Amino acid sequence: MLKFAVYDHGQRPGDWPLRNAYLVGADGNPVRAEISYDRDGDEPVILCDKREAGTAALVLQHGCGDLGEVTLQTCLLPESNDPYILQLELARHRLMTLYTRLEEWSMFDLDPDHTVPKRANKAREHFIAALCAQKDDPARAAELGQECLTTALDGSEELALAHSELLLNRRRETSALPNRPFGVGLSPETADARVRGPVASSFDFMQLSIPWRLLCPEENDYDWSAVDPWMEWAAQSKVPVVAGPIIGFDPQNLPDWLYIWEHDYDTVRDVIYEHLERVVERYGPVVDGWNVLSGLHVNNHFTFNFEQLVDLSRMVLMLTRKLDPSCKTLVEVRQPFGEYYAANQRSIPPLIYADLLAQSGVPFDGFLLRLPMGQAVQGQFTRDLMQLSCLLEEYAIFGKPLHLSVAAPSAPVTSVMIADPKDDQPVDPSCGHWRRPWSPVVQSHWLEAVCQIAMSKPFVESVVWQDFMDHPQIELPMSGLVNESLQVKESLHRLIGFRRSLLGLDEEKPAPPNRNANSDSGNHQPVGAGA
């Protein structure tokens, strides 16, 4: 069992919220464990009762002052009767990450006056002082550990940005940038046709969702009326389209009638085969790329075993290639940090799933990582920039191009209460935040930073913002680039500016919609008004 003592202003708090808390093992995959905050006794601690032997690291959401509240982890730790100091162990791991990346990225030659070496040196001093104090004055050690953590986190994010700037310049100089780097997502059942002009003029392609539940709300009763107009417009306007996911294993995609066979793999496989065949044959002539499969590895809604999950993945990829051999095929990886695996052993950790597909010999053209952040649901808790950079590099070993789908809200998602299916009670809606609570300004800065880091990686081919406009059915509320009244958010200005700067294009305004829109906020402008 692992134990962690926590301190708040030198005192043991009576309560300590455990948000997005789980353990990871030596292989980097989550492990099953019961994590709780034990308030009994004079010295309450975080208890981690794991089911497996060996070292493990604790992952949880933690506040870091002006740097925000993000999900962080400790180093791998052996079991001990004495509690570890949480802040000190979080600082140990972040300081280790900072120095490891300085070495791996050959960034030790930064100017001494640069922010990164200054932060690294200061964090090291705090850490040494915390180690000296941990035995005699653990409260002081926790305070110094927190200072080390905040400083090291700041330094690591600055390092990720400095490294990305270096690599991005290299991609520009060697003409290694992709032809179509930036796309935007649209939902055909909710998107306003008046956004077509801005989408066509300001982005390189459109990612059009085609949820199964929309196309076939009743068994064997297909309705193409929502998707057909968008496909026809894309063909006429010569807007490249990435469509999908065709098969998405999440509530937003699966039709309700499919759950009748949730325990019958053979029937589900046959139904999936038929649906995929219909969709690809209908839209194949228009679509440039298929997001074929999404979220199968999470396996939250069916009781499929490991072999069935792999078999189904092979089947849908091979069938898509057979039906549309000239089209790009992508596999979407949801929740790429793998939190779900700690609670669902029928699932497959994301990196293992990616490796299985890459080594299987099944033809496909790349992975699409889906990374929405800013909502207190599994897979959407806030992470820092260094974690995102490291995550992308983990997929480089598979030799497949990488595509990224990202989103963040323009306001805190506190009004959305998420019901716990076990006891039907509202749960803590806090998902963390990056630097400051989510706002239009924070959303725009986060977007630019993530785009810079992603496009600096030589194996990343595109970045997609998940939803162009807010709508009631959106996966991450308030994460659109324009609101429901078609008022432009600052993030759209920043994304268009970053794209044009990256590609060396002249400044150009997106086409305005066919209406006069009045601004409803000081943070918004009508679509096309200087974006």
Burial tier of 106 (Cβ tally within 10 Å: 0-12, 13-18, 19+): exposed
CA 110, CA 456: separation in Å to the nearest integer? 18
- Per-residue tens of pLDDT for the chain, all 531 residues: 899 999 998 888 888 999 999 999 999 999 999 999 987 667 889 999 998 889 999 999 999 999 999 999 999 999 998 999 999 999 999 999 999 999 999 998 888 889 999 999 999 999 999 999 999 999 999 999 999 999 999 999 999 999 999 999 999 999 999 999 999 999 998 888 899 999 999 999 999 999 999 999 999 899 999 999 999 999 999 999 999 999 998 888 899 999 888 888 999 999 999 999 999 999 999 999 999 999 889 987 777 888 888 899 999 999 999 999 999 999 999 999 999 999 888 899 999 999 999 988 888 999 999 999 999 999 999 999 999 999 999 999 999 999 999 999 999 987 444 444 444 545 567 899 999 999 999 999 999 999 999 999 999 999 999 999 999 889 999 999 999 999 999 999 999 999 999 988 865 555 545 444 333 333 444 444 433
Question: Which among 412, 414, 405, 474 has a CA at the least distance from the CA of 440?
Answer: 412
Per DSSP, what are the bridge partners of residue 407? 372
Does the N-terminal peptide bond of residue 78 adopt cis geometry, omega within 30 degrees of 0? no
Question: Which among 16, 19, 90, 28 has a CA at the least distance from the CA of 55?
Answer: 28
The predicted structure's pLDDT at residue 514: 47
The structural domains of the chain, ordered by start, are 2-170 (no CATH), 177-526 (3.20.20.80)
3-state secondary structure 175-233: CCCCCCCEEEEECCCCCCHHHHHHHHHHCCEEEECCCHHHHCCECCECCCCCCHHHHHH
In total, the chain counts a number of residues equal to: 531
Q: Is 313 helix (H, G, I), strand (E, B) or coil?
A: helix
Query: 């649906």: which residue's tokens?
Result: 275
